[in-house]
Structure 1
Amino acid sequence: MNFDAIIIGAGQAGPSLAGRLTAAGWKVALVERKLFGGTCVNTGCMPTKTLVASAYAAHLARRAADYGVVLQGPVGVDMKAVKERQQTVVRNARGNVEKWLRGMKGLTVLEGHARLTSPTTVEVDGQVLEAPRIFLNVGGRANVPDMPGVNDVPYLTNVGMMQLDALPEHLVIVGGSYIGLEFAQMYRRFGAQVTVVEMGPRLIGREDPEVSDAVREILEAEGIAVRLNAECISFSPCDEGACVHVSCKEGEPAVKGSHVLLAVGRKPNTDDLGLEAAGVPVDKRGYVTVDETLRTNVPSIWAMGDCNGRGAFTHTAYNDFEIIAANLLDDDPRKVTDRLTAYALYTDPPLGRVGMTEAEIRASGRAALVGTRPMTRVGRAIEKGETQGFMKVLVDAESKQILGAAFLGTSGDEAIHGILDVMYAKAPYTVLQRTVPIHPTVSELIPTVLGELKPLD
């Protein structure tokens, strides 16, 4: 079968690209081997944030008296109902993606495992497809390191966590980064005992130390145990379910849990894609090597989303689609290096992050200014009774452009976009400083923070 383009994978970037290409009159084939919508829809963003919402509701209910609200009896959590709620969100989103694709004029949808057989051909369960352009959107999966004893105990990844309909007695989470911390807080709020085991000296090690410390304090205040410097992690069966040996410098040498969640990063789904047959290289971690326009060394093949190593988020995958479509269809030379680093950690309160960290700025040697404000001095946070965290903005002392920001606090994941927009506009911070924001909001304090900038020592 001959097409103008073949798209492998129906994650965040693939369906949107199919929509643009077919609208331009191209004859397109899209191949999906498992679930339409990819990680975000099925086992990532949408179901986990649905669980976060349920956990927040439970947490707020327990705090009802703080707001003058009286509840009768203890707050309970029906885990079967919690699971059904998140699965309903997943089914609806996945169904909408599939319905959209199957109804798309000019698009042929195939289900099966696609493998490249040349730079212009793809085999799907014995059927050969051919096109002058091939787009890879195969995503990634949970990484399972070869740690001693890991295969001797039952363990969960983010996929298995979506299927739990009963509360673990003690959930031990290996990995103190974004995925692990979100699950840690939500399951603690559901009522489980939770321990986080992290090999490094602090949680979310890519963040500045004060962010890591503040997040740890928030989690520990809710009863989550944190074990750092776990440099020799191993596993063995025990009566409780699984024994996680941590060999930390402090505390018991092992943690016994009923369930183990491995949250130690992701790996790309490129190992069974036939890339070698097409002459497409991968790096040492298995990511497809691409240039600034997301094209591989083979002119007929592009890679989008998690499999290209240029971003690990739904929003970066969607931007990959936009970059490719702009270059192919709009004569608009967009490139991935135009993109700013921006993401959020969806603990409660959330962390919104954009641009450079303080550590990165110090390493660059440039002169910078910094402004901070604790959430205890933000009216909206006080009114909501959610005053944990702080706001921090970093500015280039010479150009006056904003270099980065971290908002850990209520609505931090939304308020950060005011910073993000100004950074993309390449405007000096004074433009944002002189705005007149709405009261009472978290964002209204951004001009105040910018008005109190001090040299970064």
Structure 2
Amino acid sequence: MSLKHFDACVIGSGQSGTPLASALAGAGRRTCLIERTHVGGCCVNEGCTPTKTMVASGRVAYWARRAGEYGVHFGEAKPDVKVDVKRVRERKRDIVKSFREGGEKRLQGAGVEVLMGEASFVGPKELVVKMEGGGEEKVSADLIFINTGERPSRPDLEGLESIDPTRVLDSTSIQELEEAPEHLIVLGGGYIGLEFGQLWRRFGSKVTIIQRSSQLLPREDPEIASNILSILREDGLTIHLSTTPISATTTPSTPLLLTVRNQDGSNTQISASHLLLATGRTPNTASLNLPLANVNTTPRGHITVSPTLETSAPGIYALGDVHGPPAFTHVSYDDFRILRDNILTTPAPSSLHTTAARAATIPYVCYTDPQVAHVGLHLAEARKLSPKRKLMTASMPGTWVARGLETDETRGMLKAVVDGNTGKILGFSAVGPEAGEVMAVVQMAMVGGVGWEGLREMVFAHPSWAESLNNLWGVLKEDDGE
């Protein structure tokens, strides 16, 4: 087996791997990209792109059922909305295909050599690739970039292996269903669990969410979590908090019987047709043989990196979800920018682009409907970070937003955390139809040093969702620490 040597090798074509490989090749460096499954990584193929495409279909179904409230009728007062899941899937596949092909053309145009196969280290800067069509290739490179991402994790649940595997789903396989499950149990009340739970409820399924924690979205402010809990229950989802799955089995009368332990210690059995495992994700590092490259990992398997994304092995870097949270596509893409700026230019050490610059203002959105968006510190985090700092909070319901009243989309709320001495906005959360866009306005203010008073006096277009940022500060009050 001959050895191919490259200036740079990228393992994994996710949202940082593909543009980085293209940029390196475009700069004249002989570059290869190794991809096990498909170009584009999780975001394009199983994550953001397909799921938000399906969420859009769910939102149309929701609006169709509400049409009569707006005086719009389809020949009868309450039309029977039917969702063609196969057509939803076809639309999703078409959009994914177009995005993936765009990435493939980008790599080809840049002159990147793409090897379809699974890579593992055999030495500090050497890899062996088990090729998709059979056989192996041996590759070495001066610089190596690991962008292998994460995959859905599987909980240790007694009896799970005895269930028909077509009825046990993860965030990838659930997108390939041909019809809506009769009754879907979702294990996990995080972002993935809530997005899919609401989606399949809108597609016609009965949905039950089992959450170990005492609140949905445990990272969020309790007031925000309580708000989205009420909304989802209003939408017809059954949600059990402080509830632990114990075992799963099948009987002659039901394909899936889940036993759960309630907060009071009693057990309950829930019968269903399908089970969605939304209990977290696992880094794709086990097959890489990282010890042979002297690359260190955390106990969970994430690769440890410096602020410039270099691993414990000089000349080997890690990008995206594989180096741990926050696991967002936009963070992964910023990883690409960090490496592009630092490797393809010669900045002074004092001007190196690092992860520290973005830490305080990383935004994210959970695409339930209404959305849940956040940037900066939550109130509990702000209290813990500076116990003696004067904090102020402002919280208001969506019923105070003119745009929400006009569109009859008042479900949700806004909440901000402010430094009481400087007026600096420390954190912002929103639940609303365009919460992500409103949050982006606040993010810009935070990055640009515009305090809460600046937003209060800003002239926003009327009527718009952003205009709510004029009114939020009218209820600003000192945090009492409770």
TM-score normalised by the chain length of structure 1: 0.97
Partners of 2:212 and 2:241 within 8 A in 1:
yes
Partners of 2:14 and 2:42 within 8 A in 1:
yes
Partners of 1:199 and 1:231 within 8 A in 2:
yes
Distance 1:102 1:397 in 2: 53
Task: Kindly provide the CA deviation profile for residues 163-207 of structure 1, in whole angstroms up to 9, marking residues without a partner as x.
Answer: 101110000000011000000101001110000001111111111
Aligned letter for 2:84?
Answer: D
Aligned letter for 2:187?
Answer: V
Aligned letter for 2:87?
Answer: A
Partners of 2:363 and 2:375 within 8 A in 1:
yes
Tell me if 1:249 matches 2:263.
yes
Instruction: State the partner residue of 2:91.
Output: 85
Evaluate the alpha carbon distance shift between residue 284 and residue 264 of structure 1 in structure 2; reply closer, same or farther with a 3 A threshold: same
Instruction: State the partner residue of 1:353.
Output: 374
Partners of 1:287 and 1:309 within 8 A in 2:
yes
Number of equivalenced pairs? 456
1:10 to 2, 9, 13: 13
2:64 to 49, 52, 61: 61
Partners of 2:429 and 2:439 within 8 A in 1:
yes
Tell me if 1:207 matches 2:220.
yes
The equivalences for 1:234-383 within 5 A come to 234-238=247-251, 239-249=253-263, 253-330=268-345, 331=347, 332-339=351-358, 340-364=361-385, 365=387, 366-383=389-406
Aligned letter for 2:354?
Answer: K
Distance 1:445 1:224 in 2: 29
How many Å apart are 1:81 and its aligned residue? 0.8
Tell me if 1:176 matches 2:189.
yes
Aligned letter for 2:276?
Answer: L
Aligned letter for 1:81?
Answer: R
Partners of 2:50 and 2:92 within 8 A in 1:
yes
Partners of 2:210 and 2:244 within 8 A in 1:
no
Tell me if 1:95 matches 2:118.
no
Tell me if 1:143 matches 2:156.
no
Instruction: State the partner residue of 1:166.
Output: 179
Partners of 1:119 and 1:300 within 8 A in 2:
no
Instruction: State the partner residue of 2:460.
Output: 437
Distance 1:261 1:220 in 2: 18
Task: Kindly provide the CA deviation profile for residues 377-432 of structure 1, in whole angstroms up to 9, marking residues without a partner as x.
Answer: 10111111110011111111123211100010121111100111122223433333
Distance 2:262 2:217 in 1: 18
Aligned letter for 1:295?
Answer: E
SS at match of 2:380: helix
Instruction: State the partner residue of 1:220.
Output: 233
Tell me if 1:110 matches 2:129.
no
Distance 2:332 2:49 in 1: 15
Partners of 2:22 and 2:106 within 8 A in 1:
no
Instruction: State the partner residue of 1:71.
Output: 74
Aligned letter for 2:207?
Answer: V
SS at match of 2:38: coil
> Unaligned stretches of 5+ in structure 1?
none
Report the RMSD for the aligned CA atoms in angstroms: 1.4
Partners of 1:8 and 1:30 within 8 A in 2:
yes
How many Å apart are 1:232 and its aligned residue? 4.5
How many Å apart are 1:88 and its aligned residue? 1.0
SS at match of 2:110: coil
How many Å apart are 1:233 and its aligned residue? 2.8
Task: Kindly provide the CA deviation profile for residues 34-78 of structure 1, in whole angstroms up to 9, marking residues without a partner as x.
Answer: 011111111111111111110110010000011110113411111
Aligned letter for 2:39?
Answer: F
Distance 1:171 1:260 in 2: 6
Partners of 1:371 and 1:449 within 8 A in 2:
yes
How many Å apart are 1:305 and its aligned residue? 0.4
Distance 1:203 1:452 in 2: 26
Instruction: State the partner residue of 1:389.
Output: 412
SS at match of 2:447: helix
Distance 2:474 2:222 in 1: 24
How many Å apart are 1:449 and its aligned residue? 1.6
Distance 1:450 1:120 in 2: 55
SS at match of 1:167: coil
> Unaligned stretches of 5+ in structure 2?
131-135
Partners of 2:245 and 2:258 within 8 A in 1:
no
1:400 to 423, 427, 432: 423
Instruction: State the partner residue of 1:422.
Output: 445
Query: Percent identity, aligned pairs only?
Result: 39
Instruction: State the partner residue of 2:54.
Output: 51
SS at match of 1:182: helix
Partners of 1:311 and 1:317 within 8 A in 2:
no
Aligned letter for 1:21?
Answer: L
Task: Kindly provide the CA deviation profile for residues 286-343 of structure 1, in whole angstroms up to 9, marking residues without a partner as x.
Answer: 0000011111011110000010004211111001111111111232511112222311
Moved more, 340-349 or 173-182: 340-349
Moved more, 243-252 or 309-318: 243-252
